[in-house]
Structure 1
């Protein structure tokens, strides 16, 4: 076990700065995404959506991702990968803000559509593929997924504690979670903007 952990540490240490940057963002982003995940459908329902409307709203993300997938491939072939990634990450900043400020459930549809676009455009897969050397590609991808998944184990408990502190399950309490998520996404955008270099 010690040898395995040491090997993972060596894989991490010899990678490029760009890879380390996107993986670090991924770890924190996934944790704070999980803060709101279990309360999203509750929140949409509290804003007045019926079961059918809830299902319709949740299907918007798949539509948005299907819409952008083909042109996105062309865009990535022709334009700067760093700028495309940062644009996607910047779109994702506004998603929790829309959730937090939504007066009605219909606004959540726009937030989910933006989330679908942002997740596709701001995907770190391309940067990982271009940054990882051949000998570390499989291990690097596994390390990215593994380290990104570990913090999400704690997130539901942290979210439940925060909801309790905010006064229990209500529109106001869940809005506060989205407010926290918004602040973190702003910080993470600044982090990647300052550290990410042009990708060869």
Structure 2
């Protein structure tokens, strides 16, 4: 067993040594950012409730933030192709820190609107930039493993963060506005540290060392649509699968707290459990995806994610162990989405990955405007469990669309 562990470590070190500095530094950057995001994610909806919001107003805050993400999507993708990844990471990280600061200063749920708007806008810039690093610096045969390895390191910080958040909240007075507020101060400090890391260590990948300055924003989108393979179908798939991304973040913790009686430590345990699956299975699933294809791995993950929703729906009130078990299976959503991200990097030329990411962000942003507030109304009119039904339906439809996509593992593409 020890020799097997040493062998895995040596293979991991060998894998990292043959990758570009941009990829290795970005793994660390993403882990730092994931700690900052995971620190508050489970408690954000509870914070808004404590500040006086109801379920519809929580949806409204997130939908308005989605407007910011949508407006930023195409410009951020164009900026990546025109000015380079380092500058876009600068912008995204510093404004995420500003958003965290505004959250900490909020005294009413209305004051969280500008905080969420700025934070989500800036996070969209970094979310658009991050996959471009892997898409530009990894060869096809390494891409799924590389992305899953990056996800594993981010999962470690994400496992620690919710427990740290729960401990800080418990020490600060419990799940009240004043009890939750200190975790936003910590988030601000961590994001400032991430900015320093980007300034000190990050450099653009060699294939993108010279930004493509000739194309305008809409010209880049036209080239994506003309030179990419099945990009419209992938846009549809990604947009549908963005529905669980938003609702997992907003309404799953709220459902667990309000309907199933989860406390701060149970919510933290659910978030930690959800990250255990990517941490433990990311490398094996990446190897499977690099050997047998991306789609097969996604097909394995989606039913297990739906199982997490079934467990959550049928968990007795106060059954923390069942809620945490639901969290474990929720991790398969992220595992499948990371594998899908490898596909998205393989269907357009490398020089257009920024514009492609911006286009995906635009459609994801539209989903982010419509879905949270719609789910809030559904929650009120049809009951909290209806949101879980919506999640299962979106997953089934997304999986069906994926069956129409070509397998991308051996696909050749332009530089």
TM-score, with normalisation over the residues of structure 2?
Answer: 0.45
Q: Distance in 2 between matches of 1:177 and 1:54?
A: 19
SS at 2:132 equivalent: helix
> 2:151, 2:187 → 1: CA distance?
21
* Residue 85 (structure 1) aligned to one of 72, 85, 89: 89
Residues 1:45 and 2:68 aligned together: no
User: Conserved in 1, the CA contact under 8 Å of 2:97 and 2:119?
Assistant: no
Deviation at residue 173 of structure 1 after TM alignment: 2.1
> What displacement does 1:77 show?
2.4
Matched, 1:184 2:195: no
Q: CA deviation at 1:38?
A: 1.6
* Residue range with higher mean Cα deviation, 5-14 or 170-179: 5-14
Displacement of 1:166:
1.6
> Match of 1:175?
181
Q: Give yes or no for the alignment of 1:142 onto 2:138.
A: no
Q: Which residue does 2:263 correspond to in 1?
A: none
Give the superposition deviation at 1:190.
0.7
The aligned residue for residue 156 of structure 1 is 162
1:115 counterpart (119, 123, 132): 119
After the TM superposition, which segments of 4 or more aligned residues of structure 1 sit over 3 Å from their partners? none
Q: Which has the larger radius of gyration?
A: 2
1:103 aligns with 2:107: yes
1:55 aligns with one of 56, 59, 62: 59
Please report how far the alpha carbon of residue 135 of structure 1 lies from its aligned counterpart in structure 2 after TM superposition: 4.1
How many angstroms does 1:112 deviate by?
Answer: 1.6
**1:94 to 1:133, Cα distance in 2 relative to 1, 3 A:** same
> Per-residue CA shift, 1:72-103, capped at 9, x if unaligned?
33232222321122111111111110100112
The question of whether the paired residues in 1 share the 8 Å contact of 2:97 and 2:188 is answered with yes
Whether 2:134 is the aligned partner of 1:128: answer: yes
- 2: CA distance, partners of 1:84 / 1:38: 27
**Number of residue-to-residue matches in the alignment:** 200
Following TM superposition, by how much is the alpha carbon of 1:134 offset from its aligned partner in structure 2, in angstroms? 4.3
Aligned partner of 2:79 in structure 1 is 75
In 1, Cα distance between equivalents of 2:62 and 2:72:
17
Residues 111-160 of structure 1, C-alpha deviations (whole Å, 9 max, x = no match): 22222221221231112222334442222111111221233223222221
Instruction: Please point out which of 191, 194, 198 is paired with 2:200.
Output: 194
Partner residue of 2:34 out of 30, 34, 39: 30
**C-alpha deviation, 1:56, in angstroms:** 0.7
Q: Distance in 1 between matches of 2:202 and 2:188?
A: 21
Q: Which moved more, 1:20-29 or 1:57-66?
A: 57-66
Whose RCO is larger (CA < 8 A, sep 6+)?
Answer: 1
Change (3 A) 1:127 1:184: same
CA contact (8 A) 2:89 2:198 kept: no
2:24 to 9, 20, 24: 20
How far is the alpha carbon of 1:8 from its aligned partner?
Answer: 1.9
1:165 equivalent among 149, 156, 171: 171
Gaps of 5+ in 1: none
RMSD (CA atoms): 1.9
TM-score, with normalisation over the residues of structure 1? 0.89
Q: Distance in 2 between matches of 1:105 and 1:42?
A: 11
Distance of aligned partners of 1:198 and 1:147 in 2 relative to their CA distance in 1, 3 Å threshold: closer
1:74 and 1:197 mapped to 2: Cα distance? 18
